[in-house]
Structures are given as structure tokens and as C-alpha cells.
Amino acid sequence: MSEKSLAQPSRAVTTQSALLPLLRRLHFYIGLFIAPFIFVAALTGTLYVLTPQLENALYSHQLFTDGAEPARPLADQVRVAQDFAGSGMTISAVRPAPSALETTRVMFTTPSSRPSESTAVFVDPGTLAIRGMLPVYGTSGVLPLRTWLDYLHRNLLLGDIGRNYSELAASWLWVAALGGVLLWATGRSPQRAKGRGQQILRQRYRHSTLGVLLLLGLLFFSATGLTWSRWAGDNISAMRSHFGWMTPAVNTSLLPDQPAIADEHAQHHLSDDHSMPGMTMPGHAHQATSVSITPAQFDGVVEAARAAGIQAEKIEIRPTTKANKAWVVSEIDRRWPTRVDSVAVDPATFRVMDKVAFAQFGLLAKLTRWGVDAHMGVLFGLPNQLILAAFGLGLCVMIVLGYRLWWLRRPAAAQGCHPAETLTYHWRRLGLSARFLLLVCTVALAVSLPVMGVSLLVLLLIDALRWQRAKQRADLPC
């Protein structure tokens, strides 16, 4: 092959005949360089969704009781938890026992608590015995085992910098899935082959068939994963806020004309204020001062919330030390897609200040809620877990099959020189209008999904290096 043929690709090709090789090369690059990150995300996510029952067994002493005694008032349960926790810890949330066989969870934070983390004291609601104290993560309330798996899935235990790995996987997963299906739909493979060719056809069939079967799940994982990502997630939130697509949030202000602030992924954040208790509020003047949280308030707040329509057995009470803020009581039974109602209750008068019901959610907000819970494996419980595990393991198998296919198709050293089949080369074979449209779409995606944009530049750099190497070898004898 001459240098001229490398530098000036032929124009005598249709857009489709040039676009498919470009897509095939991009799919190859994603499989070779991005697939390891996707594999790790799929595997760790599968481990996460399969471990709730294991966590219940591992921490059964903290989570469950024999239910021999009738439940005592919630105020008494909170009081013994406070006494056990000691000074310097502020109540961030309380989850009353949803049944006689489960414990009440009183969660505390300290000035040194990390974001989304708290310490839970588990109380037997009948005997008031302390069953243990464990760190918990987020309002999803996962315990140490699943917290570790969550961090492993989210950032490989590397902190904020590690979050780029999962965003990289989510950014490219939908491209790989759609591109693979398009290649499968337009590809034509020989019906008969022998030896190595037969192995290649068999691996290609398994890889592509599995990809088609998993397509909807892969698109779902990519979309929901991006909403939690660091860079793309911020862009998605900004877009939703601009168009008014945010999830409605209960208004906790005890002052007039104070809007509510929505939290799109409350199950991953503990965003309530954790200021230390100060002076007690005199009378009923709602001033922006710090107040104490007293155990006696909890029973009245729960009773008011129940009267306002909070019906789920699993609820969470989030107190606040700000005098101008109401307490929030929320339904947290994520197994049912409509049990996410919440109310704001004035802890001084036990008057319901605001209520947000799931029926008030817009369609996009409902889809977001369902998507978040389904991605975490809690929607409908065990069936959701098994479906996610099947998709996650299927994705891992598909990636392994893809690497096997690449290994079978790799050029043999004895075959001599090979043309530099690069993204740049195939892009240049497109018509001018097609190149411009593809460039505009690529720039738009790179800006919206920054990690994808940066990684694409790396792929193009690899392209350039391969191109230069091919030009150096173009005049060598093959």
C-alpha cells in the first residue's frame, strides 16, 4: 500500500458503505479499551444487587428481634439510643421498626461524618435493649458489607477520581449496544466456513445474539448510571432543572414563601443539616436559630404523618435542628413504586405543613423514581434482583465472548503488512455533509458527556499513532 492511498481515501463509496466500517472500528475500540471498565461495573453491580439477603443474615442480631414484648413508645426507643450514643452525636434520622420482629434504627451524625454516611444504633422496640451500632450509608440504609460493594461499584474505592471509571462505562455502554445491534442487523456472514473461520462465526453469533437479547437492559443501565455520574450527571440535572422536570420535594420551610428544593437521588445523599443542637426554641417563634431534638417529639410527628396519609410500614423521620424548618416523614418502602409519599410536620405544633404524594409526580419524575429503584435492585424486591443479576452476568459473558472473537480474528504475524484501518480513515471516506453532521453530533455528545469526550480524544490519538506507523511501513516490502 502506498502513502498516497493512505492519505487520500477513495470517494467512490456510498455513505452507508463508509459509515458501517467506521461504526465497526468504533465498536472494536470500545470493546478493546472501554469494555474492561464496563465489565468491572457490571460485575460489582451484580454483587451489590445479590447481597441484601446476605447482609440480613450477616447482621441479623442488629436487624431482627424475637418480638416477645409489645413495642414501647418511639420516644423511649430514641432516648435509650441517645444515651447509648453519648454526647457529640446528632440524630439525623429515625426508622421505626416496621414489624414486631425488626429493630428500630436511630441514625446519628458527627461533625466528622462523611457525606451520605451516618452511625445507626439498633434498638429492640419491645425490651429497649441495644442490639448494636453500625455505620450505614445513605437513606437506602445499607450496612458495611453493601456499603463497601457500593463504593467498589461506584468508584473502585478510589474516591471522587474513581467515579470517572463508572462514568466512562456508562457513557460508552449505550453506544456499544446500539452500534453492535446495527452491525448485527446489517452484517452478512458467510453461511459455511471451516476450521478457524467456523470458530469465528460461532463466537460472533453468540456475542451478537446475547447483545440483542440484552439491548434494553444495557440502555437502561447506561441511562440510569449517567444520572448518578459526576460530570454528565450534573449536566442532566441542569437540563432537568431548566425544563422544570425535577422531582417534587416537600417544602420544609416554616416561613412563608420559601420554595422546596428537590433532591433527585435522595437515596445516595444525606443532605439534611447536621448542626449541633443549641438553645431550645422559646415559645413558637420560628427563627433561624438552632434548637434541640427531643425524643418526646417523635411520637407526635409520626401520629400527625399517619393522619395525613403516610401509610407504609417502612417510614423515616428526619428531624432538623433549625427552628425555621419542619421535620420530614417519608415512606421508604421502595419495593412498591407508589410508596414514596412524604409530609413536612411542625415539631412544635404537630401540624402538617406540606405533603407531596407520588400521584403529584410528573411522568418524567415517576420514571426517574422507578429507574433509580430498579437500578438499585429494590423495586419489587427479589424479582428485580434476579433480573439485574441476569443482565449483569450476561453483559460480563458478552464481553468475554467479544475478547474471544477479537483473539480469533487478530492478524497473524506471518500475514505481513496490513492497512491502517482507523476511525479517521473511515470518517474521511464519508461525504462532506455526512462528515459535518457526524462532527456536530460528536461535539454535542462530548460536551454533554465530558468523560466520553476525553476518552474519544484518547482513541483518536491512538488512531493518529496507528496512521503514522502505517505510513512508515507503507513502502516496506510485505
pLDDT tens-digit map of 90-130: 999 999 999 999 999 999 998 888 888 999 999 999 999 99
Instruction: Look at residue 243 and tell me if it is in a domain.
Output: no
The pLDDT of residue 245 is: 85
CA pair distance 122, 81, nearest whole angstrom: 8
pLDDT of 272 strictly over 70 = no
Classify strands 117-123 and 342-345 as parallel, antiparallel or unpaired: unpaired
Strands (E), 270-363: 315-318, 327-331, 342-345, 352-356
Highest mean pLDDT among 126-130, 406-410, 417-421, 458-462: 126-130
Q: Which of 321, 351, 373 is the last residue of a domain?
A: 373
pLDDT of 450 strictly over 50 = yes
Contact 104, 74 (CB under 8 A): yes
pLDDT of 320 strictly over 50 = yes
CA pair distance 308, 351, nearest whole angstrom: 10
Instruction: Look at residue 242 and tell me if it is in a domain.
Output: no
C-alpha dist (Å) from residue 402 to 180, 213, 288, 398, 475: 11, 15, 60, 6, 33
As a whole number, the mean pLDDT across the chain is 87
Same domain, 21 and 56: no
The pLDDT of residue 190 is: 61
Instruction: Look at residue 295 and tell me if it is in a domain.
Output: yes
Instruction: Look at residue 405 and tell me if it is in a domain.
Output: yes
Instruction: Look at residue 244 and tell me if it is in a domain.
Output: no
pLDDT of 232 strictly over 70 = yes
Q: Which of 95, 124, 154 is the last residue of a domain?
A: 154
Using alpha carbons only, give the angle 318, 228, 51 rounded to the nearest 5 degrees: 75
Q: Is the pTM of this model over 0.85?
A: yes
Number of domains in the chain: 3
Same domain, 276 and 299: yes
Highest mean pLDDT among 146-155, 241-250, 274-283, 334-343: 146-155
Same domain, 174 and 185: yes
Same domain, 265 and 349: yes
User: Which of 212-226, 341-355, 412-426, 440-454 shows the lowest per-residue confidence on average (mean pLDDT)?
Assistant: 412-426
Q: How confident is the model at residue 437 (pLDDT cuts 50, 70, 90)?
A: very high
Residues pairing with 315 in the sheet: 331
Same domain, 348 and 258: yes
Same domain, 44 and 56: no
Kindly state the percentage of the chain with pLDDT values over 70.
85
Same domain, 191 and 229: yes
Kindly give, in sequence order, each residue whose CB lies less than 8 Å from that of residue 454, ignoring residues fewer than 6 positions away: none
pLDDT of 219 strictly over 70 = yes
Q: Which of 354, 373, 392 is the last residue of a domain?
A: 373
Kindly give, in sequence order, each residue whose CB lies less than 8 Å from that of residue 145, ignoring residues fewer than 6 positions away: 51, 54, 55, 58, 59
Q: What residue numbers bound the domain in which 345 lies?
A: 250-373
Cell numbers found for residue 183: 452491525
Q: How confident is the model at residue 189 (pLDDT cuts 50, 70, 90)?
A: low
In terms of residues, how long is the chain? 478
Same domain, 161 and 308: no
Q: How confident is the model at residue 191 (pLDDT cuts 50, 70, 90)?
A: low
Tell me the pLDDT tens digit for each residue of 387-400. 999 999 999 999 99
Residues pairing with 120 in the sheet: 107, 134
Question: Cβ atoms within 10 A of the Cβ of 293, count?
Answer: 18
